[in-house]
Structure 1
Amino acid sequence: MSDDSQIHIPPSFEAVHRDARGRLTLPRDDFRARYELCEDMAQMLVEPCQARLHDQGLSEDLVLERTEAGLAADGSGFSAAEATWVVTRLAELLGWPHAGLTPPPPRPH
């Protein structure tokens, strides 16, 4: 079977859908579709989360926590692991600290 996809799926997302033996837990086409959905959701949430931070005066942590809770809720269409991945990716896009991200190295003075 040929894999002609141009989409690079990061290892962090692959880990969400691999079993203990490293095998994908869903068909490859479904896996790609889930990745695209999760990446699109992270991209789409950037502006609303920035607005919550500035307009409502919420902390970055609280914005991310509430976003993850919403994504992980029953009926959202996302698994808990996908919700965590989306919020981690969102934090990366926003440049906000998050437990799932490696902190940037200190800047030299």
Structure 2
Amino acid sequence: MSDDYQIDIPPSFFAVYTDARQRLCEPIAIVRARYELCEDLATHLIEQARLLHHVAVPSEDEILHRCRDGLLTVESGVSAAEATWVVRRLAELLNWRCPAFADVQELVQRQ
């Protein structure tokens, strides 16, 4: 049986699902499905981020932090690592500089 999957998953997304020995922690079918979801989410957030930038929040950095904060909630349906990847991808799609993000563990400890 051939693998007819046509979408190239970038190394940055594979890193979300790779352990210290560079092996996938999930089956490739799950990684593919999660990639498609995260890529769609980043694309979906483009217009919202642009609107915020022109109407309410002048700082690209602040907008990206707010997006990540929203994605870090349980209701978002993405993991913390996926949330960070989505926002980095969003910054790339918008051609914005991506800010450094605090480690998720650090955020949990502050709460």
TM-score normalised over the length of structure 2:
0.84
Matched, 1:65 2:65: yes
Q: How does 1:1-109 map to 2 (within 5 A)?
A: 2-99=2-99
User: What are the Cα deviations for residues 33-75 of structure 1, in whole angstroms up to 9, with x where unaligned?
Assistant: 0000000000000000000010103310000000001111122
Which 5+ residue runs of structure 2 have no aligned equivalent?
101-111
Q: Secondary structure at the match of 1:75?
A: helix
CA distance in 1: counterparts of 2:52 and 2:18, whole angstroms: 34
CA distance in 2: counterparts of 1:45 and 1:51, whole angstroms: 10
AA aligned opposite 2:79: S
- RMSD in angstroms over aligned alpha carbons? 1.3
Task: Specify which structure has the higher proportion of helix.
Answer: 2
CA distance in 2: counterparts of 1:81 and 1:57, whole angstroms: 25
What's the offset of the Cα at 1:22? 1.2
AA aligned opposite 2:90: L
Corresponding residue number in structure 2 for 1:103 = none
Q: Which runs of 4+ in 1 moved over 4 A?
A: none
Which 5+ residue runs of structure 1 have no aligned equivalent?
101-109
What's the offset of the Cα at 1:27? 1.2
AA aligned opposite 2:24: L
Asked if the contact 2:19–2:25 (Cα under 8 Å) also holds between the matched residues in 1, the reply is yes
